[in-house]
Structures are given as C-alpha cells and as structure tokens.
Amino acid sequence: MFVPRVLLKRLYTFGSLENTDDGVWFSIRNRLSDAQLSGVRGVSIAGRSIPLADVRLDFGDGRVMRPEEITSSAPLAFALRSTFDVHARTAALAPGKYPSTRVPRDTADDDAPGIIAERQRFVERFANVSTEHLEKSSFDPHMLAEIIVGVVLAGELSPASAISSSDWVSSHERYGRNR
C-alpha cells in the first residue's frame, strides 16, 4: 500500500535520521490517532530500497521486531503518541546530505525562558543569523490582553445598551431591517 507523503510527514520524526555503525536509524511517532500496523511492505531512503531482512523495529521497551512479524493476521497496536525506531542495515548516508538537526525542546514546559533561549541559540548557529530582535517581545503581552478584553467588553456592552434603550429596535425600523 502506498502511504501518501503528507501522512509520512506526520509520522516521521524530523531530524531523527542518523548514521549508525551498521546503517541508519530514524524514528516514527504516531501523531494521528490510535491505529494498528498490519504490515511493513517496504522501507526506502532517498529512493534507495532497503531489503526488509535488513530492517528492525525497536519499540524502546525491549521489543525488537522484524517487519515480517507484523501481518494482517498478527497486527501490532500503534497507539497515539507511541514511538518506534527503524534500524536499517545499509550503506551510511553521505555526510551533510541528511543533516541530523533537532530543535531543542522541553516536554515539561516548552515555553520556559531557558528552552526558548536555547532554541534562539540553535537558530543563530543553524541559520547563521542574529536573533537579538527575538530576545524581548515587541509588545507587552499584558497590554495586548487589556486591549482584547476592552474590545470584547465594548462589543458585548454596545448591543446590550442599544437593545435596552430601544435604539436597536427604532434604528432597525428606520432602515427597514425588521423584515
């Protein structure tokens, strides 16, 4: 079965493709919904097919499976947010052609000041740019919240006061909006 590229982009963990001593590995993460794997029909990297006999699936809990062990009669549960690594015995990837780039993340708090600073340093190194304009907000988020609350309240109070003072009804009648 052909897997559409858009689906593969949602499953492949970007930056996980790396050379190993005997080939390459990359990580697959279910970001879609609970599913079942009913088979692995092929693995290819950059158009190069890897024989399934040279592929192993490592589930990180001690289970390592060969692709032929997963069949429609013996499917494998693939729960949402679960991950497995694909190890393939093959020639090493050319240096630089497949960069192993991982954006710094913090699963506990991805918006903490420390991890944000680390991501900014990563961007500076990776893109060879300065992020000094990102080090402080270009607006005060508290002021933005006050503006939003003011607009919402004005939007709610204005029609309410028009209805309570009968202006709403008279203006609708005047402009023929009551039909």
Structural domain boundaries in the chain? 5-89, 103-136, 141-174
Asked if residue 30 lies in contact with residue 77, where contact means CB atoms within 8 angstroms, the answer is no
pLDDT for the residue 166: 57
Amino acid identity of 126?
A: F
Average pLDDT of the chain is: 77
| Cα distance from N-terminal residue to C-terminal residue, the chain | 58
Q: Which residue has better confidence, 61 or 112? A: 61
Rounded distance, CA 66 to CA 13, Å?
20
Rounded distance, CA 93 to CA 17, Å?
9
Most confident of 8-17, 62-71, 143-152: 62-71
Give the residue among 93, 79, 104, 102 at the shortest CA–CA distance from 14.
102
pLDDT at 168 over 60: no
Q: Which residue has better confidence, 139 or 112? A: 112
* Residue 152 in tokens: 């919402």
Rounded distance, CA 36 to CA 34, Å?
7
Rounded distance, CA 29 to CA 107, Å?
15
Give the residue among 41, 44, 40 at the shortest CA–CA distance from 88.
44
Model confidence at 65, in pLDDT bands (50, 70, 90)?
Answer: very high
pLDDT at 97 over 50: no
Q: What are the phi and psi torsion angles at 17 (to 5°)?
A: -70, 115
pTM: 0.51
Taking phi first (over 0 means left), then psi (-120 to 50 degrees means alpha), and beta for anything else, what does residue 127 get? alpha
pLDDT for the residue 69: 94
Q: Which residue has better confidence, 17 or 66? A: 66
